[in-house]
């Protein structure tokens, strides 16, 4: 049996095999030559003290052989002739639902409005370079969903470790680095995610499932309170008794469709704010207590941060922080500006960005009450459209230096930021309703007190960060996971209000697929 140890070492020891082996040999009072292998089980960074340490849980193979085992894909079955389940949306919820159905022996038919990962890149270029937003293919829509061109952070607040580990292991089996299994805060990176997503699609097709791109669902057919199928933008009908609805938090046309058809939905609180960008070296110096100029050194990764405060009775917090990353234009329709962030696997860009958002309450949507369940969505849309208008009616984003924002002062200039379509200097108070501006202003001042150096005019705020989670919930029965009124319709993932990131969306996709088990006849 390998011996498990919990140790704390300096970053250079954790990073260099010979130093780590020598350290452990000394601890175990054995010779380094007798240690055959050290397997890292968990790794995290402890930056609470001035000298940053790495916490490692390791399995030490001392005087015994270590055999490497590779993670295998589950035992998928050929489902070409099996009962069919329609999945709307090929985001993490839809893809993991499809793979789970195949494991169960059911045939998934995935209908995706966007393009495959390769083709999708062209449309991302068009947003960045030409300010053209394709309403079916963008940073939120297309193969892999909103998570494909992201930082690929794979942590979640889900306490069900087993569910999380299963998803992480599937990611590894489809090509992600095994590092994600040991890191306390694993991430994949924009450069690696598309290949993994493509491998998933190829597996779905290999085992008899279908994945149709450029296929936007425009209607859901319901008879006697049971789902019968869906209709696409070309007028094609797909019949099925089970439909997993995994269209994500940005599919406003789906929310409108459900509302029109009187399929019950409800407004849901979400969070909204700005995306802040700092020099990464500044964040490193705050988080690692290192010198701004000499930097974090070669053994520590670009530092992340996470901060939360109560400001005037509302939570204000960092969201989807991307160390060494880039701010992305995430609009899904022309006439709006939306930000989010991504990072490559090495997180080696010069800037750190993070959503800094304020908790919204249902009563904040009162001015949009006439929209009923869509009030929150209309509140969100109005802010995104206002941002578009104020920045010059292109994909340029309204921007302001952080201290200037707290002092309601238009910034005299905005330096180049990572947001490729460009910035326009705007007093960001004009983008938001008064209560939101006020909370953000006070909140940044509070943040500056806990993270010394954070509140600086070197930081540039981009507005808005508005797609933090769905503004609508599609209620479902907690037992069957079917819509509360419609048999066979499974609201799933982030768009339905049951997930808040890649991992939780994937877990929810699997959960919904498992509820289709009664179709298995064998």
Query: Is residue 142 within the footprint of ligand FAD (CB under 6 A)?
Result: yes
Q: How far apart are CA 320 and CA 400, in angstroms?
A: 20
Q: Closest approach of Cβ 360 to ligand FAD, in Å?
A: 18
How far from the centroid of its chain's Cα atoms is residue 12's Cα? 31
Which of 11, 152, 443, 488 binds ligand FAD (CB under 6 A)? It is 152
CB 496 within 8 A of CB 245: yes
Query: Is residue 108 within the footprint of ligand FAD (CB under 6 A)?
Result: no
Query: Is residue 272 within the footprint of ligand FAD (CB under 6 A)?
Result: no
Q: Closest approach of Cβ 60 to ligand FAD, in Å?
A: 33
Query: Is residue 114 within the footprint of ligand FAD (CB under 6 A)?
Result: yes
Query: Is residue 488 within the footprint of ligand FAD (CB under 6 A)?
Result: no
Cβ distance to ligand FAD smaller for residue 190 or 400: 190
H or E segment to which residue 272 belongs: strand 271-279
Cβ distance to ligand FAD smaller for residue 379 or 419: 419
Q: Closest approach of Cβ 518 to ligand FAD, in Å?
A: 24
The radius of gyration of the chain's CA atoms, rounded to the nearest angstrom, is 24
Q: Which residues, 6 or more positions from 161, have their beta carbon under 8 angstroms from its beta carbon?
A: none
Query: Is residue 464 within the footprint of ligand FAD (CB under 6 A)?
Result: no
How far from the centroid of its chain's Cα atoms is residue 402's Cα? 25
Q: Closest approach of Cβ 244 to ligand FAD, in Å?
A: 10
Q: Closest approach of Cβ 164 to ligand FAD, in Å?
A: 12
Q: How far apart are CA 144 and CA 193, in angstroms?
A: 9
Phi, psi of 17 (to 5 degrees): -55, -45
Which of 23, 115, 120, 153 binds ligand FAD (CB under 6 A)? It is 153
Q: Which tokens in the block code for residue 499?
A: 């997930």
Got the DSSP string for 173-200?
HTT--GGGGTBSS-B--TTTHHHHHHHH
Residues found in the chain: 522
Within 10 angstroms of residue 482's Cβ, the number of other Cβ atoms is 19
Query: Is residue 248 within the footprint of ligand FAD (CB under 6 A)?
Result: yes
Tell me the number of residues near ligand FAD by CB under 6 A: 43
Q: Closest approach of Cβ 426 to ligand FAD, in Å?
A: 22
Instruction: Candidates 100-108, 191-199, 299-307, 495-503: pick the segment binding ligand FAD (CB under 6 A).
Output: 495-503
Cβ distance to ligand FAD smaller for residue 112 or 123: 112
Which of 330, 387, 390, 391 binds ligand FAD (CB under 6 A)? It is 330
Q: Closest approach of Cβ 318 to ligand FAD, in Å?
A: 13
User: Residue 178, CB half-sphere, CA atoms under 13 Å: how many?
Assistant: 9
Tell me if residue 71 falls in helix, strand or coil. coil
Query: Is residue 111 within the footprint of ligand FAD (CB under 6 A)?
Result: yes
Q: Which tokens in the block code for residue 85?
A: 């389940």
Q: Which of residues 58-97 bind ligand FAD (CB under 6 A)?
A: 88-94
Please, where are the H alpha helices in 427-501? 434-450, 493-496
In the block, residue with structure tokens 């070197």: 458
The three-state (H, E, C) secondary structure of 276-327, written as one string: EEEEHHHHHHHHCCCCCCCCCCCCCCCCCCCCEEEECCEEEEEEEEECCCEE
Cβ distance to ligand FAD smaller for residue 91 or 429: 91
Query: Is residue 387 within the footprint of ligand FAD (CB under 6 A)?
Result: no
Query: Is residue 491 within the footprint of ligand FAD (CB under 6 A)?
Result: no
Q: Which residues, 6 or more positions from 350, have their beta carbon under 8 angstroms from its beta carbon?
A: 279, 280, 281, 324, 418
Query: Is residue 277 within the footprint of ligand FAD (CB under 6 A)?
Result: no
Which of 197, 495, 513, 519 binds ligand FAD (CB under 6 A)? It is 495
Which of 113, 242, 401, 483 binds ligand FAD (CB under 6 A)? It is 113
Q: Closest approach of Cβ 169 to ligand FAD, in Å?
A: 17
Cβ distance to ligand FAD smaller for residue 139 or 207: 139
Cβ distance to ligand FAD smaller for residue 246 or 311: 246
Q: Which tokens in the block code for residue 33?
A: 């030559």
Q: Which residues, 6 or more positions from 37, have their beta carbon under 8 angstroms from its beta carbon?
A: 60, 61, 66
Residues interacting with ligand FAD, by CB under 6 A? Answer: 88-94, 111-114, 139-142, 145-147, 149-153, 216-217, 246-248, 251, 254, 320, 328, 330, 340, 342, 493-495, 499, 501-503, 505
């Amino acid at each position: 049996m390998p011996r498990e140890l919990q140790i704390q070492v300096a970053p250079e020891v954790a990073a260099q095999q010979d130093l780590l082996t020598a350290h452990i040999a000394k601890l175990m009072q054995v010779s380094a030559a007798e240690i055959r292998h050290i397997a890292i089980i968990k790794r995290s960074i402890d930056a609470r003290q001035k000298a940053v340490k790495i916490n490692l849980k390791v399995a030490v193979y001392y005087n015994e052989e270590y055999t490497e085992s590779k993670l295998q894909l589950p035992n998928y079955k050929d489902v070409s002739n099996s009962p069919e389940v329609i999945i709307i949306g090929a985001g993490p919820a839809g893809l993991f639902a499809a793979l789970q159905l195949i494991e169960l022996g059911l045939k998934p038919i995935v209908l995706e409005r966007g393009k495959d990962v390769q083709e999708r890149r062209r449309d991302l270029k068009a947003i960045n370079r030409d300010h053209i937003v394709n309403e079916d293919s963008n940073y939120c829509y297309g193969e892999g969903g909103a998570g494909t061109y992201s930082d690929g952070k794979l942590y979640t607040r889900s306490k069900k470790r087993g569910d999380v580990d299963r998803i992480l292991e599937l990611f590894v089996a489809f090509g992600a680095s095994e590092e994600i299994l040991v890191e306390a805060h694993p991430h994949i990176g924009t450069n690696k995610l598309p290949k993994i997503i493509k491998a998933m699609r190829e597996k779905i097709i290999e085992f008899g499932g279908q994945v149709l791109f450029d296929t936007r669902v425009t209607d859901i057919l319901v008879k006697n309170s049971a789902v019968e199928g869906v209709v696409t933008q070309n007028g094609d009908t797909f019949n099925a008794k089970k439909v997993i609805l995994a269209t994500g938090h940005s599919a406003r046309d789906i929310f409108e469709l459900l509302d029109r058809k009187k399929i019950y939905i409800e407004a849901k609180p979400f969070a909204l704010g700005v995306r802040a960008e700092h020099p990464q070296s500044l964040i490193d110096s705050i988080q690692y207590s290192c010198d701004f100029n000499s930097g974090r050194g070669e053994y520590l990764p670009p530092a992340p941060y996470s901060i939360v405060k109560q400001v005037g009775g509302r939570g204000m917090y960092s969201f989807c922080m991307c160390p060494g990353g880039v701010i992305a234009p995430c609009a899904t329709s022309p006439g709006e500006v939306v930000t989010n962030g991504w990072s490559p696997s090495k997180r080696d860009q010069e800037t750190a960005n993070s959503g800094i958002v304020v908790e919204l309450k249902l009563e904040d949507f009162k001015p949009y009450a006439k929209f009923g369940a869509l009030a929150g969505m209309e509140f969100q849309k109005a802010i995104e459209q206002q941002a578009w208008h104020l920045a010059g009616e292109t994909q340029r984003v309204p921007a302001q230096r952080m201290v200037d924002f707290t002092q309601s002062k238009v910034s005299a200039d905005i330096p180049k930021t990572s947001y490729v379509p460009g910035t326009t200097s705007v007093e960001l108070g004009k983008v938001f309703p008064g209560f939101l501006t006020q909370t953000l202003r006070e909140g940044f001042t509070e943040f500056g007190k806990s993270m010394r150096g954070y509140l600086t005019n070197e930081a540039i705020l981009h507005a808005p960060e508005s797609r933090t989670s769905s503004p609508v919930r599609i209620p479902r029965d907690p037992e069957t996971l079917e819509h509360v009124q419609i048999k066979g319709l499974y609201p799933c993932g982030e768009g339905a209000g049951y997930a808040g990131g890649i991992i939780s969306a994937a877990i929810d996709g699997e959960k919904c697929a498992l509820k289709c088990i009664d179709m298995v006849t064998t």
